[in-house]
């Protein structure tokens, strides 16, 4: 077996070899684990607006990692769009963010418009993935509770019923009757 193959199969040996050569890996904040607080990064949306951590306060956050070339993402995001519409109609404290893994912003804009997506979309994949979804797979859905803690990280396409159940995590504020 060649030394390169040995190092590839044994990560501890690889780390020692890199350290001996004076290469120090850059420290990276670990993504939130289930139940831990999410460090929401500031991201730029396709329309140029910025979202920061304050945007998510008191909201359930549903973050979907996807791509325009993924047929599973297309079906999944149709359900996510229905969730977005239902949350908006109910006045529920739930916000959806799509994280497009595509490189070309114009392609993503055209695709989102053709699909009728009304949820916010960013291409700032690296900070979002570092915050909550280190696995490079699509579609992947992260759900963050109103308290800012990661509730679920769901790999793969979800059924419509499962996506719509996320609305139960953000019940709308009760309507108060006007006094007469």
> pLDDT tens-digit profile of 53-105?
999 999 999 999 999 999 999 999 999 999 999 999 999 999 999 999 999 99
pLDDT band at 29 (very low <50, low <70, confident <90, very high): low
**pLDDT at position 173, please?**
62
**pLDDT at position 31, please?**
86
Determine the Cα–Cα distance for residues 158 and 116; give it in Å rounded to an integer: 19
Residue with the bigger pLDDT between 81 and 24: it is 81
Cβ atoms of 72 and 139 within 8 Å: the answer is yes
**pLDDT at position 25, please?**
37
Q: What is the pTM of this model?
A: 0.80
- Superfamily covering domain 27-169: Glutaredoxin (3.40.30.10)
């Amino acid at each position: 077996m060649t030394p390169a193959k040995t190092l590839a199969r044994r990560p501890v040996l690889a780390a020692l070899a890199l350290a001996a050569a004076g290469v120090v890996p850059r420290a990276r904040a670990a993504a939130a684990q289930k139940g831990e607080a999410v460090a929401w990064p500031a991201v730029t949306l396709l329309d140029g607006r910025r979202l920061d951590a304050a945007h998510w306060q008191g909201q359930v956050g549903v973050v979907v990692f996807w791509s325009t070339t993924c047929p599973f993402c297309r079906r999944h995001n149709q359900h996510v769009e229905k969730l977005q519409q239902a949350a908006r109609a109910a006045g529920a404290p739930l916000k959806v963010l799509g994280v497009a893994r595509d490189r070309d912003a114009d392609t993503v804009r055209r695709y989102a418009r053709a699909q009728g997506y009304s949820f916010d979309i960013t291409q700032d994949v690296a900070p979002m993935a570092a915050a909550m979804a280190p696995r490079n797979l699509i579609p992947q859905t992260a759900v963050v509770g109103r308290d800012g803690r990661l509730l679920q990280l769901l790999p793969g396409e979800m059924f419509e019923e499962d996506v719509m159940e996320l609305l139960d995590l953000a019940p709308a504020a009760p309507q108060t009757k006007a006094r007469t």
